Structure 1
Amino acid sequence: MTIRLAVDGRGPLRRRILDALVAQSGGNVEVVLHLGDRDADFHAACLQRMEVRNGKKGHLLRDHLTKGADMHLLASPDFQNLMATAVDQMHRGSKYYNYRAHNLVNLQDYLDYYHVVTQALADQLTAAGATHALFMNMPHLGYDTMLYQVARSLGLKTLVLCQTTYSDRFFSMQRIEDMGVFDPSVGHAPPLPIKKGDQPDLFYMDDRWQKEGPRGRITAGAIKNYLKHIVLRDPKSLLRPDVMVADLRRIARIYGALPEWRDPFAKFFHRNEMPYYEMLASCEGQKVDYEAKFVYLPLHNQPEMSTSALGGVFRDQALVIETVARHLPEGWKIYVKENPRQNAFARGPLFWQRVMRLPDVQILPSHAPTHELTARAQLTATVAGTAGWEALIKGRPALVFGGGWWKSFPGVTRFHEGVDLQAVANTAFEHEGLEHAAGQLIARCHDGVIELLYSRMKEALDEEANAQVAAKGILDLLEDRVPVTFGSGAKG
């Protein structure tokens, strides 16, 4: 049977892999729908921003007529949660967080657009006779999640790929919710040597984020983005120099109260963001009692895959904090640390009002070192973050709320209502068991770099050779010659 493939894959690296995949299949794989860049059937990013950018087949929504709602998707028992997930992801394109914003304003706008896009995708997949859908990254941008949801509702066989952080290999799964689900006792791969107490080498993190440093000063980039905001969002203020002077003074105070590395308005400015940074500034003088009994809860950067795709209902990180608080043993604290890459998205005043109503919560200063916190905490709680893996390396237990790739490892407890946090804190596991589980996981992964950001994992990446290797692994998965990394097909 010919595999009639729908693909979400943006960027030249993935395009090269896709071309190699088709060539290697010897005619057994036909791409019938490709969401990508302008050389794809439809331009994907324009769906997120509601722009008119054509692919080879034009624009997905132009001249599209439908017979009505996509009943396959509507009939899904989890339809409301599916729609809420996509709406949450589309919100990242709001004018409050992007200069290149879409025109969606209220909830009904988001719901309407969701139905328009999913109907168009359903009609395209049906007309093309698609049998499989391939996602070359975890769907988390809105348009890709809608494609994934429609493909699942139509009964297509879905294959989701995700780059690993620690090697030039990638994970695979049939469903998003399978991320991290496998049986580490199955398999005979050698253990992966891990130095106990070591710190993961995360190239996207900065050492300055873990120690106290000099305060910042307002930058030229901040002033430029402030003026951009005034021109695009509030031109009336150009006639009120007093308002603009007051704004700039407020911005200068924010910079002076935060670490030099943060540079809050270097990429984007909106007046709504200022209260968020003022709240962070108010926590910079907090003292941290490392001798207390505490749950360490580092927040994820948001919006991002770890919450938008892998969090489920716990993409709401205030809910994570509230849930931990509800299960907290007497006398314990919850130490919450903001992600150093975070801006005001999903962190409005009401978010912090929810958190600050909890008497056992302390918001840590930005310089509180996450390495010491994971080592001293009774346990580390996270949706899907690397902090959980860091705690395990130190021999400390982790509580996971979402789809951490390490969630089947020894020392991990998956959240369930009524969880006993004292019992979680007392979880004992052997470091050798961790190395064994990591070895079994790496053996289930597939060779190749599929995410350009991670190409630095291989010096002078040969993109053509990489494309051939990655394509072979994907073809083996599509043709069921090898099992997926995670989920029901991962055993055996």
Structure 2
Amino acid sequence: MKVFLLSFNNKVQIEAARILKDKGVDIVYWTGARSEFDRVKKERAKFPNTIFHNTYDAARGEAPQDVDTTNFEVPISLIREMHDIESIVLTMMNAIDFTNVPLNKKKHLYYEYVTYWYNVLKQYKPDALLYPDIPHMAHNYVIFALAKRMGIKTIMYTDARRVPDRLLFFEDFHNYKELEESYKEAQKHNVRLGDLAPDIQAFYKNQTDSSKDSTPPMTQKSFFETRKKDTQIIPAFSSLLKNIRKGTVGVITKKYLKNLKDTKQMASLEKLEMSGFAQRRMFQKWEKLRKVFIDEYKSLQKKPDLSLNYVYVPLHVQPERSTSAEGRGIYHDQQLMIKVLSQALPKGWKIYVKEHIPQWLAIRAHLGRYPGYYESIAGLPNVEIIPAESQTFSLIENAKAVATVTGSAAWEALLRGVPALIFGDIFFSLCDGAYKIETEKDAKVALEDIENGKTPDSQKMLQFLYAIQESTVIGHDKHKFNKTREIDDKENASIIASGYYDMLTRT
């Protein structure tokens, strides 16, 4: 059984690769980056016949030395056939465009991606492609799209969106057919809360308790504030004082100065190597851009009246996979989503739009907003921008509906019995009370239903949670943000390898 490993970078993923190899899986091609991946490349003893390809090189369209591209066919017909993918990929490229690459050069790079990966897939004939996440780097998405057209299985996993310590394995994030089948089976039975595993019960109770703040760790302001150190050239006084007390100031200072001096390669569409000092200077410039967006937003915000009929729209942090790739291409543009809602809105209703504070704290935030962004939203009929500090759970509980591309607020709403309009591809769009929106007509039908009193069925929610329980494995994703139990890296790698292997051998 031959596989490609795509973006396997960290030690857990690499250990999972070793376990798969021991199970007889032939790892033909492997993309990755960073120190752990580089170490495996140098050792190579375990994977003597594997082609290793640095992710940063792949992002720039550069082939590894082991692959001869001299006679690679340019698949013109396929490029024409995949025109719908081109726009999605160009959007994804923005996430790592740190040198203002011209549009025509990006388009050419996209054609290079299609040409290279089509020929590699045709030449090495893998049985499956394994991803440790939903593919959202531009070249990874092209490989995924090609695999679908060429009949090659794809397997990936993600955390079960805030259900702690649960990993969901699936073949295609556009449909989640494995979970859908499990949900259909669960609906044949009357599921009670006591039928759920203790961790799923705890999750459900936590999410439905209005007195608790269930904000996911990765989206909390405190998480992004810790990233501020990446922009600092001079360490914070508190950090310096802490190291003086510990007697480690000399060692830390030496290490810090080395980091400022050392040159590192960045994930970028063009080759970009920068010293730590130059990186921090660049990040500081980006921080100034973010302040422009904040001022614009605050000049437009109004306090929401929660007694009115309204649809709550919490914006996504961008650039992120939650809108690109999961936004079905066009709904990467959240302004377009809000415009569709505005045109479908029942008479007398409002739309409350709230920015996600981490958008103003994330390092690449300037790639997801631009001057005039919030003004264009505020100018739409019946749309109001509300303070970003507004309490999201009060907004959810008083809303007629929550609308988002794939955001967790929709999942939280459904758990609380509030309908959700979902414009992207996410597993909880299968749940009762969730409306998948592609067109203005879809939005009108959904909002008419909601205006007439349609809400999620609590029994179907328990059935859906049971389906999640049956379709997931206990483990941590690469971030480990959403965990309630300790799982060491070796055990976690074994869990992940087993998840892949089960999917590989499933008929």
What SS class does the counterpart of residue 168 from structure 2 fall into?
A: strand
**Unpaired runs of at least 5, structure 1:** 96-100, 210-217, 226-264, 482-492
Partner of 1:406: 428
Amino acid at match of 2:440: E
Partners in 2 of 1:67 and 1:221 — Cα distance?
43
2:87 aligned residue: 84
State the one-letter code of the partner of 1:43: N
Q: 2 CA distance for matches of 1:35 and 1:430?
A: 44
Matched, 1:361 2:383: yes
Q: Distance in 2 between matches of 1:441 and 1:20?
A: 26
- Residue deviations 1:368-393, cap 9 Å, x none? 11111001111100111110111122
Change (3 A) 1:273 1:46: farther
* Equivalent of 2:325 in 284, 309, 329: 309
Give the aligned partner of residue 358 of structure 2.
341
Partner of 1:476: 502
Matched position secondary structure for 2:174: helix
Of stretches 195-204 and 435-444 in structure 1, the one that deviates more from structure 2 is: 195-204
**Is 2:135 aligned against 1:105?**
no
SS in 1 for 2:297: helix
Secondary structure of residue in 2 paired with 1:178: coil
Shift, 1:204, TM fit: 1.8
Q: Distance in 2 between matches of 1:274 and 1:380?
A: 28
Secondary structure of 1:176's match?
coil
Q: Which amino acid aligns with 2:308?
A: A
The alpha carbon displacement at 1:423 in A equals 1.6
Residue 171 (structure 2) pairs with residue 174 (structure 1): yes
Amino acid at match of 1:20: I
Tell me which residue corresponds to 1:74.
79
CA positional deviation for 1:417: 3.3
Question: What pairs with 1:6-405 in structure 2 (closer than 5 Å)?
Answer: 6-23=5-22, 25=23, 27=24, 29-37=25-33, 38=38, 39=40, 41-48=52-59, 50=60, 57-58=64-65, 64-71=69-76, 73-74=78-79, 76=81, 79-95=82-98, 101=99, 105-164=101-160, 165-179=162-176, 182-183=180-181, 184-187=183-186, 190-191=195-196, 192-193=200-201, 194-195=204-205, 196-198=208-210, 200=214, 202-206=216-220, 221=231, 269=286, 272-283=289-300, 286-312=302-328, 313-342=330-359, 343-405=365-427
After superposition, the Cα gap between the structure-2 partners of 1:305 and 1:3, relative to the gap in structure 1 and judged at 3 Å, is same
Distance in 2, Cα, partners of 1:73 & 1:446: 37
SS at match of 1:301: coil
**RMSD (Å), alpha carbons:** 3.0
* Shift in Å, 1:268: 5.6
What is the match of residue 269 of structure 2? none
Shift of the 173–73 alpha-carbon distance from structure 1 to 2, 3 Å rule, reads: farther
Letter in 2 for 1:279: E
Write the letter of the residue equivalent to 1:151: A
Give the Cα separation in 1 of the matches to 2:2 and 2:229.
53
The equivalent of 1:433 in structure 2 is 460
Counterpart AA for 2:350: K
Shift, 1:153, TM fit: 2.9
Q: Which letter maps to 1:357?
A: G
Checking the alignment, whether the CA contact within 8 Å between 1:6 and 1:125 is kept in structure 2 is no
**What is the CA–CA distance in structure 1 between the aligned matches of 2:84 and 2:433, rounded to whole Å?**
30
Q: Shift in Å at residue 68 of structure 1?
A: 3.9
8 Å Cα contact 1:73-1:153 kept in structure 2: no
Return 141-150 or 288-297, whichever deviates more.
141-150
Secondary structure of the equivalent of 1:158? strand
CA shift for structure 1 position 411: 1.6
**Preserved contact between residue 157 and residue 169 of structure 2 (Cα < 8 Å):** yes
- Would the aligned equivalents of 2:323 and 2:331 in 1 still touch at CA under 8 Å? yes
SS in 2 for 1:186: helix
Rounded Cα–Cα distance in structure 1 between residues aligned with 2:66 and 2:109: 15
What is aligned with 1:239? none
Query: Following superposition of structure 1 onto structure 2, how do residues 434-473 of structure 1 map, counting pairs within 5 Å?
Result: 434-449=461-476, 451-454=477-480, 457=483, 459-473=485-499
Question: Aligned equivalents of 1:168 and 1:433: distance in 2?
Answer: 23
Between the aligned residues of both structures, percent identity stands at 22
* Shift in Å, 1:166: 1.5
TM-score (norm 2): 0.74
Report the CA distance between 1:480 and its aligned residue. 0.7
Unmatched 5+ stretches in structure 2: 42-51, 236-281, 360-364
* Residues 7 and 30, structure 2, Cα contact 8 Å, conserved in 1: yes
What displacement does 1:111 show? Answer: 0.7
Kindly indicate whether the alpha-carbon contact (under 8 Å) linking 1:399 and 1:424 is maintained by their aligned counterparts in 2: no
From the superposition, tell whether residues 93 and 66 of structure 1 become closer, same or farther in structure 2 (CA, over 3 Å): farther
**Which residue type is aligned with residue 334 of structure 2?**
Q
SS of the aligned residue for 1:381 comes to strand
Cα distance, 1:125–1:290 mapped onto 2, change above 3 Å: same
Kept in 2, the 8 Å contact 1:295–1:377? The answer is: yes
Letter in 1 for 2:219: M
- What is the CA-CA distance between 1:465 and the residue it aligns to? 1.6
Number of equivalenced pairs: 413
Shift of 1:172: 2.3
Q: Aligned to 2:487, what secondary structure does the other structure show?
A: coil
Task: Return the alpha-carbon distance in structure 2 between the equivalents of residues 87 and 224 of structure 1.
Answer: 36
CA distance in 2, matches of 1:219, 1:67: 45
Displacement after TM superposition at 1:479 (Å): 0.8
SS in structure 2 at match of 1:323:
helix
Does the aligned pair in 2 maintain the 1:4–1:131 contact within 8 Å?
yes
Conservation of the 8 A alpha-carbon contact between 1:33 and 1:125: no
Deviation at residue 427 of structure 1 after TM alignment: 1.4
